[in-house]
Structure 1
Amino acid sequence: MISQFRPKDLSAWLEQARAHGEPVVLDVREPAELQIASVKPDGFTLLTIPMGTIPLRLAELDPQQPVACLCHHGGRSMQVAQFLASRGFENVANIAGGIHAWAAEVDPSLNTY
């Protein structure tokens, strides 16, 4: 089962994740979506790989690093988190509510769409 947390709980996830390595937030949205709104890395590495290219770009990810997946509302990111877990990634989470919730809970300056 993939763990989930809300954007407001990112700090707590980062704290526990650091026990397993440098945390990564993997934004799986499309480039056009990233132009509308994107998170600012703060205490984590931000990687942007569109969902459809994850299988081809899997080697860019370290299965030993903790990865929290992010999308618009949380559906695509959950699918990517499940895919990563099925490929041996042990510390994978989904950011429930996605960038939309991030704007509401963490950074109200972000555009919503």
Structure 2
Amino acid sequence: MFGLFRSSAARIPPQEAVQRHARGELTVIDVRDISEIRASGTAAGGLHVPLMRLAMVADPRHPDHLPELDPSRPVALFCAAGGRSQAGCEMLAKLGYAQVYNIGGFGDWCAGGGKVAR
């Protein structure tokens, strides 16, 4: 079980993620469920892709692929506490995304100065 959470995705300091996202250098993905988004909001300007859909919409070969997700572009994920975002990072790495970062939880995004959309 612990092999699922190998740390191939680096943790990115939340403040750095916020700054890079603001400059357009980083795609931010919230992998929490919609009920969590409704309760707290999400990263302004980021994407909301529940973890269960991430593999489909991130795969350029899949018919449901989101064009905003480009394997050559840096991405950073967050969830509630960091576990699901780490699993999402592993998925993206297996799909060929070269630069994948784990922000941790939504609280980390907020503590780093990230704007919230409700």
Q: Measure how far apart 1:109 and its partner are.
A: 8.0
CA distance in 2 between partners of 1:109 and 1:24 (Å): 15
Q: Which residue of 2 aligns with 1:92?
A: 100
User: Aligned residues, how many?
Assistant: 101
Q: Could you say what secondary structure the match of 1:94 adopts?
A: strand
Q: TM-score, normalised by structure 2?
A: 0.71
**Match among 2, 8, 32 for residue 9 of structure 2:** 2
Alignment of 1:3-42 (within 5 A): 3-11=10-18, 13-14=20-21, 18=25, 23-37=26-40, 38-41=42-45
Q: TM-score, normalised by structure 1?
A: 0.74
CA distance in 2 between partners of 1:103 and 1:14 (Å): 13
Alignment of 1:102-113 (within 5 A): 102-106=109-113
- For residues 3 and 12 of structure 1, do their structure 2 counterparts lie closer, same or farther at Cα, with a shift above 3 Å needed? farther
Runs of 4+ in 1 over 4 A off after TM superposition: 11-15, 107-110
Structure number with the higher helix fraction is 1
Q: Which runs of 5+ in 2 are unaligned?
A: 1-7, 59-64
CA distance in 2 between partners of 1:3 and 1:14 (Å): 16
CA distance in 2 between partners of 1:36 and 1:68 (Å): 22
CA distance in 2 between partners of 1:107 and 1:79 (Å): 22
Q: Could you say what secondary structure the match of 2:101 adopts?
A: strand
Q: Could you say what secondary structure the match of 1:34 adopts?
A: helix
RMSD value over aligned CA atoms? Answer: 2.7
Cα deviation code 1:27-81 (max 9, x no counterpart): 101111111221223xxxx111100111222221211111101111111001101
